[in-house]
Structure 1
């Protein structure tokens, strides 16, 4: 094991064991290095690596602290990294969403309060006239966000949130290019909402699966067309504009 990796494991062990808790300040570099039997350089590199993934917070002139370690803090890094995935890799992200979101929706059918479900209803109304795509996308994001939070599991909600931004371009492009995509989205949101109100977890799970699978199927077909004869795989995609 590389010395930096060993240093990371030692610090992680202190956090996992409870020796270092969220918000705690790390001992001075020289003291901690001696205590762990590490070189100061290895410790410094480990601290740098752990700060990049939001486990540690280096405050210039003050010291290094353990962050809150809340899921939304740690998973911010996941969302940032996923933003750099190639367009065809969005399919993999949608597959993960298709696993996670139906589970969260089924959980929400059991745990969301009546008042939360009532406020969710405002997000599933069919808009009058020609709908604005930006408004629809914003409503779509908020609809899924509330249901994920309504699952009662903050880790699951944070995971779903981290997958939302990387798949956003595909959802926008589908709304622009696929006929009736906006209306279909609203109808599926309404079906999910009815299942939540009826406290039918499996029905809510099924509709959530259908909803996300629709975007995945559209993107798969669009990429097949874009990467047809004459195109190098992965060099063209419907999301690029």
Structure 2
């Protein structure tokens, strides 16, 4: 079990056992991490994930609370998980995106000039300074959009933008729950950038395929576990 998954499981167990009740406040991060034998970073990521699915409510400057756990609230969370894990159409979207994205990346490698490469480098450098998953997803969208524009086909860029808008939640969920997802994404983006900078069409195409395939593989595994 991944460290973050273990942290999520332990917090959920506290709620199920009644140690944390609806509306109750969680102990301070450091105290709770020590109590459960977890690192503060894994505790922090677990809290983020449970906030996304409406189990926890993080109130800035006040603390982290268990939500009311009302059926309406939890049904929204269940709907969210179903969207990600049980809808084969999302996997089909990623399959189409993999084909188009890799083609666009190959075209970008043909056409990229020094200014375009510098733009991608600046985007990747800025992203490497961010630890927040939301910031990483924003970077991911901008990075791929810049590559799509470089391909020089407005219709292709528009189609990729439409596909991307339907996969943002899946990418955010992966960043929150999969160990090393942030570092892996940045490393794969660097590989894509290097291939584009070298005008290596085949390598750029392959790097993009590997990148999108990794998300597909995670999504399929998450769906099967569910």
Provide the TM-score with structure 2 as the length reference. Answer: 0.60
Report what 1:23 is aligned to.
Answer: none
Report matched runs for 1:37-48 at 5 Å: none
Of the two structures, which has the highest relative contact order with CA contacts closer than 8 Å and spacing of 6 or more? 2
Matched residues in 2 for 1:119 and 1:96: separation? Answer: 26
Matched residues in 2 for 1:127 and 1:160: separation? Answer: 24
By how many angstroms is 1:113 displaced? 2.1
The alignment partner of 2:166 has SS state of helix
Report what 1:187 is aligned to.
Answer: 187
Report what 1:212 is aligned to.
Answer: 212
Report what 1:109 is aligned to.
Answer: 109
Report matched runs for 1:8-87 at 5 Å: 87=87
* Structure 1 runs of 4+ with >2 Å offset: 125-128
Matched residues in 1 for 2:142 and 2:87: separation? Answer: 23
- Asked if 1:149 is matched to 2:142, the reply is no
Q: Deviations over 1:89-112 (max 9, x none)?
A: 100000000110000000000112
Report what 1:203 is aligned to.
Answer: 203
Report matched runs for 1:126-165 at 5 Å: 127-128=128-129, 131-165=131-165
Q: Radius of gyration: which is bigger?
A: 1
Report matched runs for 1:85-100 at 5 Å: 87-100=87-100
Matched residues in 2 for 1:136 and 1:161: separation? Answer: 17
| Structure 1 pair 169–137 and aligned structure 2 pair: CA distance change class (3 A) | same
Q: Deviations over 1:57-87 (max 9, x none)?
A: xxxxxxxxxxxxxxxxxxxxxxxxxx9xx73
Give unpaired runs (5+ residues) of structure 1: 1-82, 227-241
Give the number of the structure whose residues are more often helix, by fraction: 2
Matched residues in 2 for 1:198 and 1:157: separation? Answer: 22
- Asked if 1:124 is matched to 2:124, the reply is yes
Tell me how many residue pairs correspond in the alignment: 141
Contact 2:112–2:199 at 8 Å: present in 1 too?
A: no
Provide the TM-score with structure 1 as the length reference. Answer: 0.56
By how many angstroms is 1:217 displaced? 0.4
Give unpaired runs (5+ residues) of structure 2: 1-82
